[in-house]
Amino acid sequence: MHFTTTVIAGLVAAPLALAAPSILSGSILSGGVRSAYFDAEYTINATPDQVIATTGESVPGQPGAYGVFRYGINVAENVICYNIKLSGVTGEYKSMAATATHIHEAVAGKAGPPRIAFPNPTGSDSCRTSVGCLKGPFITGITNTTTGKDQGDGFNVAQILANPTRFFTDTHTASYSAGAVRGQFCA
């Protein structure tokens, strides 16, 4: 499989960003059937009522906002491809991480550390999108205070396949710092 390496501005020491492989044209990431390239594909519907603060309390996300996060995972290459579409998410993105759009490790109803940071979706407030692929090692820009290493350090996409319900995806804005929308992976 041939990929073209691209640079994502603003992500210092970021994971390798890859051009979406041509097989994505027939995959769930583009609305088609599943591609043989991926070991698993996930479509996560993210809503404001699923947002949890770092304190573990349920907090409101952005009213009327909605997100569809589509992921394709290739374990052998430690690659995750993404097609993220946000609707009704307004204002500037804001996060302590390198970007404001992530996969976090935590079960439903709990907060957890980011493991992968994605380029923030761009476009109008009515439709923001981000499409591409990332290859590990993954860098989030958040340091684990116990180990002193990045929260993405040592993370492999195989961990998502091993127990998808331990992960959620979200995006953060200045007005909704805990998250504008959040969605939990399903088994």
Higher pLDDT, 177 or 20: 177
Instruction: Tell me the average pLDDT across 99-113.
Output: 98
**pTM for the predicted model, two decimal places:** 0.84
Per-residue confidence at 127, pLDDT binned at 50, 70, 90?
very high
In the chain, the amino acid numbered 49 is D
- Residues 140-184 have pLDDT tens digits of 999 999 999 999 999 999 999 999 999 999 999 999 999 999 999
Region 24-29: mean pLDDT is: 52
DSSP string, 112-145: --EEEEEPPPEEETTEEEEEEEEESSP--S-B-T
Q: According to the model, what pLDDT value does residue 44 have?
A: 98
- The percentage of the chain sitting over the pLDDT mark of 90, rounded to a whole number, equals 79
**pLDDT band, residue 34 (cuts 50/70/90):** low
Tell me what the pLDDT averaged over the chain comes to: 86
User: Is 5 a residue whose pLDDT tops 80?
Assistant: no
pLDDT confidence of residue 23: 44
How confident is residue 37, by pLDDT bands cut at 50, 70 and 90?
confident
55 pLDDT above the threshold of 70: yes
